[in-house]
Amino acid sequence: MATGNSTREPAMRLVGVERRYREGEGALAILRGANLDLYPGEMVALVAPSGTGKSTLLHVAGLLERPDGGDVLVGRQSTRDMRDSERTRMRREEIGFVYQSHHLLPEFSALENVVLPQMIRGLSRKEASSRAGELLSFLGLGERLAHRPAELSGGEQQRVAIARAVANAPRLLLADEPTGNLDPQTAAHVFQTMVSLVQASGVAALIATHNLDLAARMDRRVTLRDGRVVETD
């Protein structure tokens, strides 16, 4: 997949990120100077035991939480001093999210679920529908466009969620156990669609997973140790 990272600019950088939560009268440090560069077109597996800060790292990287120290750079742009409205705009335009549960809107079709975030960004229904149809067809769902989530299998639902996450052509795709609710065969199929999408779109992907087989197929693997990001074999 991705090669030659040293000659390219990161899609996102975490620089000395710190995150603490109040615990009684003190504070619990979760991230302690975490650094991570994510490059276009690569998939990075985040594999770490529960309770070590995986979700916190994803929330900070996705601008859902502000770090207590350090900075998150999207492209070359620092987000440290951004207003909440600016962070919201950047999340909408530059970052896509996929979770363990698909969180699709049950009353809308697969196509409509992928159209909506594009219309929120300002695209016309015609433009959004065209892109949604292309994305879903690329992910093997061309014949399921009119189906609602309840009419789709678990793997199909998750592929719709992936299409929705990249509908606005983000720089970064963040995924938290995206295959955790799927059987091994379906998980492998959904993962392969993500690989194809990352390669075709050039998005940078950070994927938290407990599935070591899938992690081994990504470009890099990192873990969290004492609140810092560490590369692992």
pLDDT at 5: 54
Side-chain half-sphere CA neighbours of 185 within 13 A: 1
- Positions in the chain short of pLDDT 50: 1-4, 6
Residue 138 belongs to domain with CATH number: 3.40.50.300
Name the one residue in this structure whose structure tokens are 């197929």: 217
Contact 195, 162 (CB under 8 A): no
Does residue 3 lie within any of the structural domains?
no
Range of the domain at 56: 12-231
pTM, rounded to two decimals: 0.89
Does residue 104 lie within any of the structural domains?
yes
Nearest Cα to Cα of residue 98 among 125, 136, 58, 131:
58
pLDDT at 133: 96
pLDDT at 3: 42
Distance CA 17, CA 201 (A): 28
Does residue 6 lie within any of the structural domains?
no
How many domains is the chain built from?
A: 1
Does residue 164 lie within any of the structural domains?
yes
pLDDT at 102: 82
Distance CA 74, CA 95 (A): 9
Does residue 224 lie within any of the structural domains?
yes
Does residue 5 lie within any of the structural domains?
no
Q: For residue 66, give the amino acid letter.
A: R
pLDDT at 2: 45
pLDDT at 179: 86
